[in-house]
Amino acid sequence: MLAKENDVFLCFTVYATLLIVKMYLIAIVTGQLRLRRKAFANPEDAMRHGGLQYHRDDATVERYRRAHRNDMENIFPFLFLGAIYSLLGPNLLLARIHFLVFFIFRIVHTVAYLFALRAPIRSVAYSIAQLPCFSMALQILTAVINYC
Amino acid sequence: MLAKENDVFLCFTVYATLLIVKMYLIAIVTGQLRLRRKAFANPEDAMRHGGLQYHRDDATVERYRRAHRNDMENIFPFLFLGAIYSLLGPNLLLARIHFLVFFIFRIVHTVAYLFALRAPIRSVAYSIAQLPCFSMALQILTAVINYC
Amino acid sequence: MLAKENDVFLCFTVYATLLIVKMYLIAIVTGQLRLRRKAFANPEDAMRHGGLQYHRDDATVERYRRAHRNDMENIFPFLFLGAIYSLLGPNLLLARIHFLVFFIFRIVHTVAYLFALRAPIRSVAYSIAQLPCFSMALQILTAVINYC
């Protein structure tokens, strides 16, 4: 059971779950965009919505898909690193800073991506969000490297 | 250790593992399709199987790859949400319904994708499978939001 | 907290974290490649680095992206299977062999992919790395199948 004593893990759980919900929202909006712009990845979808000419790519849909893929590349590893790091018994304030920095800058990354904000806003947000990830990976490895 | 008392977590583990195996199978079949249809993503593979002209895309291979990517977008978050939700101590029957709905409709989604069943079967399966995910995310957030 | 008694889980954590760091490195090198070869996925990035003509694909960048995607398809499921398998209380030596085979052959896979080593080195590395994954999935299912 989730022990109420493990505040760090519970704090991690909040941000992790919110980021997953954020990814779900990108997927939903991508689907709506496909319908609105009539740009379908599959011929069977195009057939249902006007004909095979709508089996095509769309620049905005592709942008959303790139944002979503970048989330998979970065948020999924955070789900693992954050969970293990929480179990190392870190200081709550320090841990919260790790999670919060990742959370905030992944949100900035998404906004910069979807609205095509001028470079390098998106790349900077990505880089800052990676800092707590590298920090957690380093702390995990320091703690467990003798067990490999 | 996996406590036998945590029936919900063990139940979750079954469906989660089966869905991962399902994803592995898509990858294997995609590889076989590339060989059979002579459509390779890498020139070095094409060279080994007849020449650079087989370094090319194939509509069916691309379909399998889209199905696989959609699994990554949806099954990977389930692995996290399902695990955390299990630790909240939910009712076993209710939890099993969550897992089973996700499992069944992700299988339907895969079948609809790979065999290009007519729209909107695939999209409906995707949407139904997301319902237990949103439900679990909401229950997790309700339980832990005060810890962020 | 991470119990020092669970040596298998700690051993798993080392390899899992190292593989995540490896994925991060691919992402970083991909970004450097985009800058060096002037091949940007987004027009706003191209604009900042010389003009819209650099909003284009590049064969090497695409190769790195395929390697990264293959990692997502295979390393992310390992993070789940390895964790659950560790909790089943397996023999430490046997477990270490599982993790080590996966780790080594995913490294070989990456090297073979990025340097375009001749086929079938990459495919063979992929296949060998899948063996411990299928073994862990089977052992998990055998242990918990009655709970579904």
Q: Do A72 and C72 touch (CB under 8 A)?
A: yes
Q: How many CB atoms lie within 10 A of CB A116?
A: 16
Query: Across the interface, which of B13, B41, B49 has its CB nearest the CB of C84?
Result: B13
Q: Is C87 on the interface with B (CB under 8 A)?
A: yes
Q: Do C14 and A148 touch (CB under 8 A)?
A: yes
Which pair of structure tokens corresponds to residue C135? 């073994």
What is the residue type of A69? R
State how far the alpha carbon of C33 is from the alpha carbons of B124, C13, C40, C57, in Å.
40, 30, 10, 11
* Rounded-to-integer distance, Cα B73 and Cα B118, Å: 22
Closest CA to C61 of C85, C93, C39: C39
State how far the alpha carbon of A36 is from the alpha carbons of A33, A56, A58, A112, B127, in Å.
5, 13, 11, 22, 18
The C-alpha of A48 sits at a distance from chain C's nearest C-alpha, in angstroms, of 30
Q: Is B147 on the interface with A (CB under 8 A)?
A: yes
- Which conformational region is residue A124 in: left (phi greater than 0), alpha (psi within -120 to 50 degrees), or beta? alpha
* Rounded-to-integer distance, Cα B4 and Cα B2, Å: 6
Q: Do B31 and C123 touch (CB under 8 A)?
A: yes
Closest CA to A12 of B9, C79, B147, C14: B147
Cis before A120 (ω within 30): yes
ipTM for this prediction: 0.96
Residue C147's pLDDT band, with cuts at 50, 70 and 90, is confident
φ and ψ at residue A145, rounded to 5 degrees: -60, -30
* Residues in A touching C79 (Cβ below 8 Å): 80
Residue A4, pLDDT score: 62
Domains, chain B, in order of start with CATH, read: 7-143 (1.20.120.550)
- Cβ(C141)–Cβ(C117) under 8 Å? no
* Rounded-to-integer distance, Cα A53 and Cα A80, Å: 42
Query: Across the interface, which of C1, C11, C47 has its CB nearest the CB of A87?
Result: C1
- Cβ(A123)–Cβ(C28) under 8 Å? no
DSSP assignments along B56-91, one per residue: S--HHHHHHHHHHHHHHHHHHHHHHHHHHHHHT---
Q: How far is C-alpha C17 from the geometric centre of its chain's CA atoms?
A: 10
C6-22 pLDDT, tens digit per residue, is 999 999 999 999 999 99
Asked if pLDDT for residue A91 goes beyond 80, the answer is yes
Q: Do A17 and B84 touch (CB under 8 A)?
A: yes
Give the CA count within 13 Å in the CB-facing half-sphere of C87: 18
- Closest-CA residue of B relative to A47 is B119
Asked if pLDDT for residue C4 goes beyond 80, the answer is no
Neighbours of chain A (3+ CB pairs under 8 A): B, C
Q: Do B119 and A44 touch (CB under 8 A)?
A: yes
Residue B148, pLDDT score: 81
* Residues in C touching A122 (Cβ below 8 Å): 42, 44
Suggest the residue from A10, A71, A144, A145 to mutate for an interface test with chain C (most C CBs closer than 10 A). Answer: A144
C59-112 pLDDT, tens digit per residue, is 999 999 999 999 999 999 999 999 999 999 999 999 999 999 999 999 999 999
Residue A147's pLDDT band, with cuts at 50, 70 and 90, is confident
* Residues in B touching C130 (Cβ below 8 Å): 24
Q: Is C74 on the interface with A (CB under 8 A)?
A: no
Q: Is C66 on the interface with B (CB under 8 A)?
A: yes
What is the interface size between A and C, counted as CB pairs within 8 Å?
A: 80
Low-confidence ranges of chain B (pLDDT < 70): 1-5
> Does the CA dihedral A129-A134-A137-A140 come out positive or negative?
negative
Which pair of structure tokens corresponds to residue A95? 């841990």
Q: Do C148 and B14 touch (CB under 8 A)?
A: yes
Which pair of structure tokens corresponds to residue A53? 């000419």
Collect all residues with Cβ–Cβ distance below 8 Å to A141 and sequence separation of at least 6: C14, C17, C18
A17-68 pLDDT, tens digit per residue, is 999 999 999 999 999 999 999 999 999 999 999 999 999 999 999 999 999 9
* Rounded-to-integer distance, Cα A94 and Cα A96, Å: 5
Residue C148, pLDDT score: 81
- Closest-CA residue of C relative to A74 is C24
* Rounded-to-integer distance, Cα C79 and Cα C103, Å: 12
Which pair of structure tokens corresponds to residue A91? 């200081």
Helices A59-87 + C59-87 axis angle, to 10: 40
Closest CA to C3 of A141, A138, A87, A5: A87
H or E stretch at A134: helix A121-144
User: If you ran DSSP here, which 8-state letter would residue A117 be given?
Assistant: P
The mean predicted confidence, pLDDT, of chain C is 96
* Residues in A touching C20 (Cβ below 8 Å): 77, 80-81, 137
Q: Do A13 and B144 touch (CB under 8 A)?
A: yes
Q: Is C33 on the interface with A (CB under 8 A)?
A: no
Asked if pLDDT for residue A3 goes beyond 80, the answer is no
Residue B15, pLDDT score: 98
What is the interface size between A and B, counted as CB pairs within 8 Å?
A: 81
Record the pTM: 0.97
Q: Is B140 on the interface with C (CB under 8 A)?
A: no
